[in-house]
């Protein structure tokens, strides 16, 4: 067998791929999606709380958010997953009788996602023109209501592309959960591919896993670009020249 | 457009500093009920800051502010601001909400009107400024003049006792200025108490009851439009008028 044949056999063995694809789609894909989406949602919520703490006028919540963010963003993902997933396992088992490491995986991913998303939300909220807060307050809204009703919703809208980006990161980082010793039914895409590769001594199942990741991440990347462009350029504004027609009332 | 529930406004001896920058140095301004006071002066003289202090977006370091003869410095500032409408140079409409929602938001959330009533009232206000047909548009799709009229409707919907205008037409293309000034003139004639910071000397002269000229944080001259524009007493006002007229 020449080198090229060897290469094809190692990476593009259709039979080996065909064998792994069913379990990859029925077991791996749902688990990857559960991990990414649930930590994405929980991470957004916690991130929003961190962002609100981060822009607080009170320095204590501001510092808590700062320290949390610096730590969780500064550590390698694998370290956090192992420390939380394996380290907290026995404690959870003793206190709550939970023996399943899967939720701990979601928890670890959530904690990290929140740190990134918190920074995204904060910068979005802070980029809202300060005239918005001023106009709301001039109407009689309290600082809190003005932030909640007017400023924060605009800040969130603005960072939608960055949030989808985080979802892409989560889809990829969810593969790190393989460290936690999950049940066969809890394996995500990478672990399914890795097990099959180990059994057959062939890389093709991992190539299949890679293709499946790309099927999710590439469209999302383009979605990010699309939203980004749409927001930057906006829908073509249509302004009608009815200014003169609308001159008002008696005193005009 | 008439019969506002308007009140008088008096600011006395207002002082305010940003750090070492003494922006307001003992300002007095009295605006009787139903009258329009215009405030003119060079850039940086403290006109915008004075408006923001009078509705307590910024708290004064010293001085008193009275609405209808009663000091409001002890009141809850949020409640005070509900009684004073404010219109900004940059409109500051909420871009993520439709035109009618811009106007009804505070009616619903602050005045606690049920959603349908808040909307109905907002529609009435939009009718008054000639923009009911834009109710469901986004502010971004309106011209500057239309946006400013929506901003005025938004402020009026709260039934304020006093209206503040901070260079409401400065950001508008020249051909759009007229519609907004016409609306402000209507309000003035309808008996609203107004404080109008403006570079529109025509409006100041023809519509306002009193004109106040500020420079470097003090009131240099104040009086009737005729007094200030025809017989300016100080060199500073003479110089300012020859620059802007
Ligand atoms: N939030 C702020 N913090 C610090 N300094 C400020 C602030 N707002 C205004 N100032 C300063 O106060 C002074 C007066 O500003 P203000 O905006 O009241 O002037 P103005 O008369 O409205 O001028 P313009 O005609 O340009 O609008 C300026 O020196 C300005 O730099
Ligand atoms: Mg100003």
Predicted confidence (pLDDT) per residue in A159-201, tens digit: 989 999 999 999 999 999 988 888 888 899 999 999 999 888 8
Q: Does the ipTM surpass 0.85? A: yes
Give the residue numbers spanning the domain of A24. Answer: 2-251
Q: Looking at the CA of B16, which ligand is closest?
A: 1
State residue A244's pLDDT score. 39
| A8–chain B nearest CA distance, Å | 54
State residue A241's pLDDT score. 47
Ligand 1: does its nearest atom lie under 6 Å from the Cβ of B43?
Answer: yes
Partner residue facing A243 (CB), from B82, B90, B145:
B145
| Whether pLDDT at A237 is above 50 | no
Predicted confidence (pLDDT) per residue in B67-78, tens digit: 999 999 999 999
State residue A1's pLDDT score. 63
Ligand 1: does its nearest atom lie under 6 Å from the Cβ of B49?
Answer: yes
Question: Does B17 map to a domain?
Answer: yes
Q: Which residues of A touch B110 (CB under 8 A)?
A: 139-141
Q: Three-state DSSP class for B60? A: coil
| Whether pLDDT at A249 is above 80 | no
Per the structure, the count of domains in chain A is 1
Residue among B122, B172, B183 with most chain A CBs within 10 A, to mutate: B183
Q: Is A19 exposed, middle or buried (0-12, 13-18, 19+ CB in 10 A)?
A: middle
What's chain A's length in residues?
A: 252
State residue B182's pLDDT score. 94
Confidence of residue A69 (pLDDT cuts 50, 70, 90): very high
CB contact under 8 A, B81 and A138: yes
Q: What is the pTM of this model?
A: 0.85
State residue A202's pLDDT score. 87
Per-window interface: B 29-48 vs A, CB < 8 A = none
Confidence of residue A15 (pLDDT cuts 50, 70, 90): confident
DSSP per-residue letters across chain A: --HHHHHHHHH--HHHHHHHHHHIIIIIHHHHHHHHHHHHHHHHHHHHHHHHHHT-SSHHHHHHHHHHHHHHHHS-HHHHHHIIIIISHHHHHHHH----SHHHHHHHHHHHHHHHHHHHHHHHHHTS-HHHHHHHHHHT--HHHHIIIIIHHHHHHHTHHHHHHHHHHHHHHGGGGGGG---GGG--HHHHHHHHHHHHT-SHHHHHHHHHHHHHHHHHHHHHHHHHHHHHH-SPP---S-TGGG--TTT-
| Whether pLDDT at A235 is above 70 | no
CATH assignment at residue B128: 3.40.50.300
Confidence of residue A16 (pLDDT cuts 50, 70, 90): confident
* B130 within 8 A of A248, measured Cβ to Cβ: yes
| B113–chain A nearest CA distance, Å | 15
| A251–chain B nearest CA distance, Å | 5
State residue B4's pLDDT score. 83
Maximum Cα–Cα distance across chain B: 56
State residue A251's pLDDT score. 36
| Whether pLDDT at B27 is above 80 | yes
Give the residue numbers spanning the domain of B123. Answer: 9-243
State residue A118's pLDDT score. 96
Predicted confidence (pLDDT) per residue in B89-123, tens digit: 999 999 999 999 999 999 999 999 999 999 999 99
Mutation test residue for ligand 1: of B22, B23, B168, B171, the one with most atoms within 8 Å of CB = B23
- Closest Cα to atom 13 of ligand 1: B44
Mean pLDDT of chain A: 88
| Whether pLDDT at A236 is above 60 | no
Question: Does B1 map to a domain?
Answer: no
State residue B226's pLDDT score. 95
Least confident window among A4-8, A48-52, A218-222, B197-201: A4-8
Predicted confidence (pLDDT) per residue in B124-141, tens digit: 999 999 999 999 999 999
Mean pLDDT of chain B: 95
State residue A87's pLDDT score. 84
Question: Does B3 map to a domain?
Answer: no
CATH assignment at residue A87: 1.10.3720.10
| Whether pLDDT at B183 is above 60 | yes
Confidence of residue B82 (pLDDT cuts 50, 70, 90): very high
CB contact under 8 A, A243 and B176: yes
Confidence of residue A239 (pLDDT cuts 50, 70, 90): very low
DSSP 8-class letter at B190: T
Least confident window among A95-104, A139-148, B149-158: A95-104
- Residue B218 — φ and ψ, nearest 5°? -130, 155
Ligand 1: does its nearest atom lie under 6 Å from the Cβ of B198?
Answer: no
Q: Which residues of A touch B96 (CB under 8 A)?
A: 153-154, 157
- Closest Cα to atom 1 of ligand 1: B18
Does residue B59 belong to the interface with chain A, where contact is any CB pair within 8 Å? no
Q: Three-state DSSP class for B112? A: coil
Nearest to A245 by CA among B182, B208, B213: B182
State residue B6's pLDDT score. 87
Partner residue facing B95 (CB), from A134, A154, A243:
A154
> What number is the average pLDDT over the span A145-151?
95
State residue A234's pLDDT score. 61
Share of chain A above pLDDT 70, in %: 92
A232/A248: higher pLDDT: A232
**Nearby residues of B41 by Cβ (< 8 Å), 6 or more positions away:** B47, B213, B214, B215, B220, B240
Least confident window among A35-44, A89-98, A167-176, B192-201: A89-98
Ligand 1: does its nearest atom lie under 6 Å from the Cβ of B74?
Answer: no
Per the structure, the count of domains in chain B is 1
Q: Please give the structure tokens belonging to residue A192.
A: 């399914």
| Whether pLDDT at B37 is above 80 | yes
State residue B3's pLDDT score. 64
A10/B209: higher pLDDT: B209
Confidence of residue A238 (pLDDT cuts 50, 70, 90): very low
Residue among B48, B54, B78, B84 with most chain A CBs within 10 A, to mutate: B78
State residue A11's pLDDT score. 87
State residue A96's pLDDT score. 80
State residue B140's pLDDT score. 92
């Amino acid at each position: 067998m020449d080198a090229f044949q060897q290469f094809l056999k190692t990476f593009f063995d259709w039979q080996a791929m065909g064998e792994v694809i069913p379990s990859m789609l029925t077991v791996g894909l749902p688990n990857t999606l559960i991990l990414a989406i649930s930590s994405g949602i929980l991470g957004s919520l916690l991130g929003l709380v961190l962002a609100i703490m981060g822009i607080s006028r009170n320095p204590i919540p501001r510092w808590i958010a700062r320290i949390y963010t610096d730590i969780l963003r500064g550590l390698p993902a694998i370290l956090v997953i192992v420390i939380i997933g394996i380290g907290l396992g026995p404690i959870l088992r003793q206190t709550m009788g939970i023996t399943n490491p899967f939720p701990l995986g979601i928890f670890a991913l959530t904690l990290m996602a929140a740190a990134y998303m918190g920074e995204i939300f904060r910068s979005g909220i802070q980029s809202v023109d300060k005239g918005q807060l001023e106009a709301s307050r001039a109407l009689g809204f309290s600082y809190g209501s003005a932030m909640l009703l007017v400023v924060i919703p605009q800040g969130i809208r603005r960072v939608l592309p960055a949030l989808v980006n985080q979802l892409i990161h989560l889809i990829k980082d969810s593969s790190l959960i393989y460290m936690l010793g999950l049940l066969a039914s809890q394996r995500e895409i990478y672990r399914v591919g890795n097990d099959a590769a180990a059994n057959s001594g062939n890389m093709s199942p991992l190539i299949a896993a890679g293709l499946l990741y790309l099927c999710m991440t590439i469209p999302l990347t383009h979605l990010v670009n699309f939203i980004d462009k749409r927001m930057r350029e906006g829908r073509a504004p249509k302004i009608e020249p009815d200014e003169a027609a609308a001159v008002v009332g008696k005193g005009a | 457009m008439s019969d506002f529930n308007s009140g008088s406004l008096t600011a006395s001896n207002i002082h305010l500093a940003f750090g070492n920058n003494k922006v307001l140095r003992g300002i007095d301004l009295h605006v009787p009920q139903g009258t329009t006071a215009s405030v003119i002066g060079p850039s940086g003289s403290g006109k915008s800051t004075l408006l923001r202090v009078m509705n307590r977006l910024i708290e004064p370091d010293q001085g008193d502010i009275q609405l209808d003869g009663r000091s409001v410095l002890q009141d809850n500032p949020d409640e005070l601001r509900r009684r004073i409408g404010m219109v900004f140079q940059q409109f500051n409409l909420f871009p993520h909400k439709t035109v009618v929602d811009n106007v009804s938001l505070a009616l619903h959330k602050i005045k606690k009107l049920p959603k349908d009533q808040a909307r109905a009232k907002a529609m009435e206000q939009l009718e008054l400024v000639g923009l009911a047909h834009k109710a469901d548009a986004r502010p971004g799709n309106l011209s500057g003049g239309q946006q400013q009229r929506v901003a005025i409707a938004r402020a009026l919907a709260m039934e304020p006792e006093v209206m503040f205008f901070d260079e409401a037409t400065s950001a508008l293309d020249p051909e759009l200025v007229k519609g907004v000034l016409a609306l402000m003139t209507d309000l003035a004639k309808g008996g609203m108490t107004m404080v109008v910071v403006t570079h529109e000397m025509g409006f100041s002269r023809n519509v306002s009851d009193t004109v106040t000229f500020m420079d470097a944080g003090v009131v240099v001259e104040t009086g009737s439009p005729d007094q200030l524009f025809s017989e300016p007493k100080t060199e500073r006002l003479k110089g300012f008028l020859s620059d802007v007229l």
